[in-house]
Structure 1
Amino acid sequence: MKQGKFITAISEAYRIPFGTVRLFVRELNKAGLLTSGAHGVNAPDMTALDAARVTIAILGTDKPTQAGQAVETYGNLGVNRFYNQGDVPAFALNEEYCFVLEEILELFFGIQLLELVQMTSLEICREELQATMTFGHSVLNKSGGRSGSVVFDADYETHQEIHASEASRGKQTIARLKASDLTEIAMLINRENSPQTEESK
C-alpha cells in the first residue's frame, strides 16, 4: 500500500481529516520513523510498523509536530504484568521478556499474533504515560473466560517525575480507538502488500 492510499485509509478508518493524517505522516517521515524511498510507482509500500507508529502518534498527541516524540514516548511503554486484569493474552504474562507497545502493534497490523484477534480497544492516557488494550472474553479460555485488559506502562523513575510535576496534576487526556478500526487497516495493509496483489498491479 503506497503512502497516499495509506493516509486515506487511516483517515477513513479512524475518522480523522485527511489533511491531519497527512501532517502526522509528514512529521514522522521527517523524524525518520516511517518507510521512505522513491516516489511514484517505485515508492515503497507502507508496513505494519508504519501503521503502528502512526496509530501511536495519533493517540499520543493532538499536535502533528509532536508525532515523533509521541512515538518515542508511548511506543516504548512496556507491559506491566502487575496491572493485568481478567483473562489476558500470553504475551502479557511473559516473565522473561517485556514487550513494548510498538512491538505488539506491529504484530497486530502484520496479523502475526493470533492472540491479538480478540482485542476490542486501544487507549492511551497521555499524562499517566499508560496504554491499555482490552480484550474480549474468548481470547484465551474456551471454557468461558472473562474479558481482560493489558496495561503498558512507563518505568518507575519516569512515573516519579510525572507525579512530582505540578503541570501534570488534574489532567487526564485519554485517546481511544476501537480494535475494529485498527483491524480495517491491518487487513488493507496485508492485502495490498501480498505477493498476489503486487503481481496484479
Structure 2
Amino acid sequence: MKSAAFIQTVAQAYRINEKSLVHFARLLKEAGLLSTGGRGRSAPDMTPLDAARTTIALLATDKPTQAVEAVEKFGNLTHNFTYNTGEVPDFAKDEKFATSFEDALTEIFSKDGPKWGLCREIEIAWEDERAIMEFHNGRVVFDGTAEDVRRIGESQSDSGIRTSRKLALAEMMNVALPLNYDDPYGPIPAEGELY
C-alpha cells in the first residue's frame, strides 16, 4: 500500500482527520521514523512498522509536534513481567521476554499477525509512560526499565488528571488487512461459484 492510500486507510479506520494525519506522518517521516521515497508510483510501500509507529503517535498525543517524542518514548518501552494481570499469553509469562511495544504492534500489523494471540485493545497512558495490551482475561504492561518505573513513580507524588487513549483490535485490523493484501477480502467468486 502506497503512502497516500495508507493515510486514507488509517484516517478512516481510526476516525481521525486526514489533514491532521498527514501532518503527523510528515513529521515522523522527517525524523526517519516512516518509510521514505518518491511520490505517486515511486512512493514507498508502507510497512507494518510504519503502521505501528503511526498508531503509537496517534494514541500518545493529539499534537503532531509531539509525535516523534511519543514514538521514541512509547515504542521503546519493554514488557514488564511483574505488572501482568489475569490470564496472559505464554509470551508474557516468560521473564526473559523483552520485546518492545513497537515490536509487539509491528507483529499485530504484520501479514502473519501475532504469534502469541490476539489482544482486544491497546492503551497508552502518557503521564505513566506506560503501554498496555488488553487480552480476553488479562493485560500485559510495557513500561521500560526498573529505573524508569522508579523515576516516574517518584515524579507522580502529586498526580492529577491522567491521560490515556485506547484502540480496539478491530480498528487495527482495518489497517493491517489492506496493508498486507491487495484485496483483503479476496477475489469475488464468479457467478455460480458461490456454493
Same fold (TM over 0.5): yes
Q: TM-score, normalised by structure 2?
A: 0.87
How many angstroms does 1:193 deviate by?
9.3
For each residue in 1:140-176, what CA deviation from the matched residue of structure 2 results, as whole angstroms up to 9, or x when unmatched? xxxxxxx111111132322333344379721310111
Check whether the contact 1:79–1:152 (CA below 8 A) recurs between aligned residues: yes
Q: 1:173 aligns with which of 160, 163, 183?
A: 163
User: 2:125–2:162: 8 Å Cα contact kept in structure 1?
Assistant: yes
**Is the helix fraction higher in 1 or 2?**
1
Other structure's SS at 1:102 match: helix
Unmatched runs of 5 consecutive residues or more in structure 2: 188-195
Other structure's SS at 2:88 match: coil
1:13-162 aligned at under 5 Å gives the runs 13-110=13-110, 111-117=112-118, 119-136=119-136, 147-162=137-152
Give the whole-Å Cα distance in 2 for the aligned partners of 1:84 and 1:159. 15
Q: CA deviation at 1:90?
A: 2.2
Normalising by structure 1, what TM-score? 0.85
Cα distance in 1 for residues equivalent to 2:140 and 2:156: 28
In structure 2, how many angstroms separate the alpha carbons of the residues matched to 1:168 and 1:158? Answer: 18
CA shift for structure 1 position 97: 3.3
CA distance in 2, matches of 1:157, 1:39: 43
SS of the equivalent of 1:78 reads coil
How many residue pairs match? The answer is: 185
**1:93 is matched by which residue type in structure 2?**
K
CA distance in 2, matches of 1:73, 1:193: 34
Q: Distance in 1 between matches of 2:80 and 2:146?
A: 11
Bigger mean CA deviation after superposition, 90-99 or 27-36: 90-99
Question: Alignment partner for residue 183 of structure 1, among 152, 173, 177?
Answer: 173
How far does the alpha carbon of each residue in 1:1-33 deviate from its partner, in whole angstroms, 9 at most, with x for none? 011110111111111111111111011001000
> CA deviation digits over 1:113-144, x for unaligned, max 9?
23333x111111110011111112xxxxxxxx
What is the CA–CA distance in structure 2 between the aligned matches of 1:39 and 1:168, rounded to whole Å?
48
Greater Cα shift, 31-40 or 81-90 = 81-90
Percent pairwise identity: 41
Contact 1:45-1:193 at 8 Å conserved across structures: no
Q: CA RMSD in A?
A: 2.2
Q: Distance in 2 between matches of 1:165 and 1:95?
A: 27
Change (3 A) 1:160 1:84: closer
Gaps of 5+ in 1: 137-146
How far, CA to CA, are the matches of 1:86 and 1:166 in structure 2?
A: 26
Change (3 A) 1:108 1:166: closer
For the residues of structure 2 that align with 1:2 and 1:169, how far apart are their CA atoms? 43
